[in-house]
A and B are shown apart, each in its own frame.
Chain A
């Protein structure tokens, strides 16, 4: 089978990109970022502006 060199470049890049995602996912799980809780949804209110 004759594989164009450009395809090899693309496969290498795709694996690298997916590798970054996988590493981020593993970190997120270990760090507790993906714990099944809705608590994270409240972090955006920490800097809330005072009521009028």
Chain B
């Protein structure tokens, strides 16, 4: 609680600067590429013939290219940058093995260019979330291992006795994700086993990489910015361990009703509902810590993004518990509802938290402030409104679509007609979100080019 740590903090930020800005900068480029691919995919629902004659720009290629660009590109790179900085802060040790991190960022981007390029050129592996060819997978796996090595090295030199809850999530992700990624990509599966491995992987990519990144950041930044500890810190640890216990069983709920043994589906449904325990632990801590401090959302733009993300996490998690039930899936499975749900998780929760964290971390490591606070606010409102419209339109449209599809008297073309206005809203919200991303990218470039004010030391957020 004193200035005695100021020199250390300065050293930590200085040492973290290069790898963090490298991860952030390239992550933002993938965000822009992924947004273009996403909006183009959505536009094809409104105008199916648009760009249909160029094979590389057909829906079957740009949609998986969108998913891979935003998940392995944007969310992973931005997340890795945040985790590097946060680990250093929580261990009170400057980032170790920076060479590993710089090599990691380079290999990661090489893997992404190769992987996304392969998908667009028609060399996709054809399994959702695992479309990258093996060479791209090898590059990204190596990049992740180098990143993990640096994190573990920093952790091993920690000067703090207590392992803060965020650090538990970070450690779980660096140990489990490489294992998951390599095993799921092994070319040894076929038939039903392949399907199960596919969704075991896809759901666990969220469980052991993307969600821990978002939660680690929220658990740090909400109390940190507000300036008071978590509502119930002890509960947060129970939340982590139950999260570790239940989440990894969830994957097969994507295959409910499919040709998968019933017991496997049932176990997955039970585990999905059990997730209510860790989700409540997280929700209690995030929301009750924020409660009574809502006026800070007006002054702290970082907190605004992060609290929006925390609220989305609670919403999307209860959605999962409901969606996994057989009676609910009968209606919602294979509809646009699933797309809305996925975007509420990866965008409303993770991406919004990443934005908030990056707005906090970037000026500290670059030692240069954001030039135009008004733009940050515009970024927030464009993306917040965009994702709310997106999720509202796809979830409601998907629900109606599911009910219509279950009615054998309803002709299929009528069901397609029914979804049209919702799909138009989806494209419009995508454009709003894309505008927000352009503002964000411009702001980031302005900090790198030192166009704003120099950052004063020792200023509270």
Interface SS of chain B:
helix
Q: A45-B1, A47-B9, A49-B458 are in contact. Are A33 and B162 (CB under 8 A)?
A: yes
Task: Mark contacts of A1-41 with chain B using CB atoms, 8 A cut-off: 1 yes-contact digit, 0 otherwise.
Answer: 00011110110010011001100110010000110111111
Task: Mark contacts of B239-282 with chain A using CB atoms, 8 A cut-off: 1 yes-contact digit, 0 otherwise.
Answer: 00100100010000000000000000000000000000000000
Q: Looking at the complex, which one of A24, A41, A51 makes contact with B171 (CB distance below 8 Å)?
A: A24
**Which residues of chain B have C-beta atoms less than 8 A from A37's C-beta?**
234
Chain B residue at smallest Cβ distance from A45: B1
Q: How far is the CA of A47 from the CA of B93 in the complex (A)?
A: 11
State how many residues of chain B have any CB contact under 8 Å with chain A. 46
Q: How far is the CA of A18 from the CA of B148 in the complex (A)?
A: 18
Interface SS of chain A:
helix
Chain A residue at smallest Cβ distance from B5: A47
Q: Select the residue from A20, A25, A50 with max chain B CB neighbours within 10 A.
A: A50
Q: Which residues of A contact B (CB under 8 A)?
A: 4-7, 9-10, 13, 16-17, 20-21, 24-25, 28, 33-34, 36-52
Q: How far is the CB of B6 from chain A (nearest CB, A)?
A: 7
| Interface set, chain B 139-191, CB cutoff 8 A to A | 160, 162-165, 171-172, 175-176, 179-180, 183, 186, 188-190
Q: Quick check: B8 and A44 within 8 Å, CB to CB?
A: no
Chain B residue at smallest Cβ distance from A4: B193
The 10 closest A-B pairs by CB, nearest first: A41-B233, A41-B229, A38-B233, A40-B162, A47-B5, A50-B458, A41-B230, A6-B188, A6-B189, A13-B183
Q: Looking at the complex, which one of B3, B176, B188, B234 makes contact with A36 (CB distance below 8 Å)?
A: B234
Q: How far is the CA of A5 from the CA of B163 in the complex (A)?
A: 39
Q: How far is the CA of A5 from the CA of B6 in the complex (A)?
A: 56
